[in-house]
Structure formats: structure tokens, C-alpha cells
Amino acid sequence: MAKRVAKPTTQRLSKAERDRLARNAIDEILSKRRGVPGAREVRKRLSALVKNADATDVVAIGAAIAASSEMKANRARWVGWELINKHSTALSQLDLATVEALGAGNSSWDEVDGYGIYIAGAAWLRGLIRDADVRRWAKSDDLWRRRAALVSTVVLNTRTHGGAGDTKRTLAIANCRKTPWMPKAGTT
């Protein structure tokens, strides 16, 4: 007779516990200053701690990390987005409002690239945001919103991120602008 494997129970965290986990991760990343490898080690330890946490709690922790002015100043907002992306069920909790809130304040190439891969593209691939939402970003006057639309297509076309190749949607985004995607050097 086969052994039954107990399904892990989902654990709800208090706001104080979520805040403590986010703050501890931020403090550890900032105190060690070991770049991406060091920050990723911290993210992996945090992922292990919240493995059985409720998905909404993981999204809240990731959002707090990504929204931290200290993480923005140290170009490490990606840690919060990666935490959400790597959790077994957190991505499924995202909707358009949450996806857009997680990208609020993006203002550099590295921020938008991390956001586009870990959050926007992953949500789009899973059908949590619509093609029309990404097309709207692509038509935006905001350079970083446009960039997020383009980067989001990478997930559709990369097996390591769950994509299988989606030329039709990728080209639809690439071809929806009538003006240049990026300003000419020296014009921003």
C-alpha cells in the first residue's frame, strides 16, 4: 500500500511578521553588500522561511522589499520580485492592479528588466494580465512602462521562464508603436 504524503498546510503570517521578515532581508542585504550573489542568498533563505506561507503574505513581503527606498537606492528591488516569482503560489495572486503597483517607481534599465521578467512577463504568461494591458504599456508616453512591455515578451519566448515561444504576441507588442520606442541619445 502506497504511503500518503501529507500536503503542507498554508501558514498565515501577521502583518508584524511580514514586516519583520521584509526588514530583516533588507537589512541583511544592505549590511553585507556582496552584490547580486549575496542578495540572492538572502532571497533563497527568505524563500525557504516562507515556503508554506500564504501566497498573499509572500506577495506583501515581496512588495515591501521592492518598495523600499533603500533597495531602490541599492538597485536591489529585484529581490522582492524574485521572492514572489519563486514562490509556488504567489504569482497566482497577482492581478493587473498588483502587477502595476509592483512596478511603480521603476526608473532604470535594471529595475524594468527585473520587473518585466519576474512580475509583468510571468503574470502575462499565466494569463493574469491581458494582451491589451501590455499593449497599453507599449503605447505609453512613459519610457519605463514601454520598456516593461518589451521585456515582458522575453518570458513568452524563454523556456527557463515557462514560455514556449509566442511570436504572434511578441510582434504585436513590438509593432504597436508608431513613434520610436526609445528616445535618441541626449534627448531624455
Q: Is pLDDT at 129 greater than 80 in this prediction? A: yes
What does the pLDDT average to over 134-138?
Answer: 96
Cell of 21: 521578515
List pLDDT tens digits, range 76-109.
999 999 999 999 999 999 999 999 999 999 999 9
Question: Are the CB atoms for 156 and 125 separated by under 8 Å?
Answer: yes
4 in a structural domain:
no
Indicate the residue among 46, 65, 92 that finishes a domain.
Answer: 92
**Domain's final residue, options 92, 116, 144:** 92
Give the per-residue pLDDT at 96: 98
At residue 92, the 3 state secondary structure works out as: helix
| 188 belongs to a structural domain | no
Residue 5 has pLDDT above 60, yes or no: no
Q: Note whether residue 8 is domain-resident.
A: no
127 and 142 share one domain: yes
What total number of domains does the chain contain? 2
Task: For the chain, give the mean pLDDT.
Answer: 91
Task: State whether 82 and 101 are in the same domain.
Answer: no
In this structure, what is the dihedral angle of CA atoms 44, 80, 115, 60, given to the nearest 10 degrees?
Answer: 130
Q: Bigger pLDDT: 98 or 164? A: 98
> Is pLDDT above 70 for 113?
yes
Q: What is the pTM of this model?
A: 0.90
In angstroms, the CA 85 to CA 19 distance is 19
Residue 7 pLDDT greater than 70, yes or no: no
Of all residues in the chain, the percent with pLDDT exceeding 90 is 80
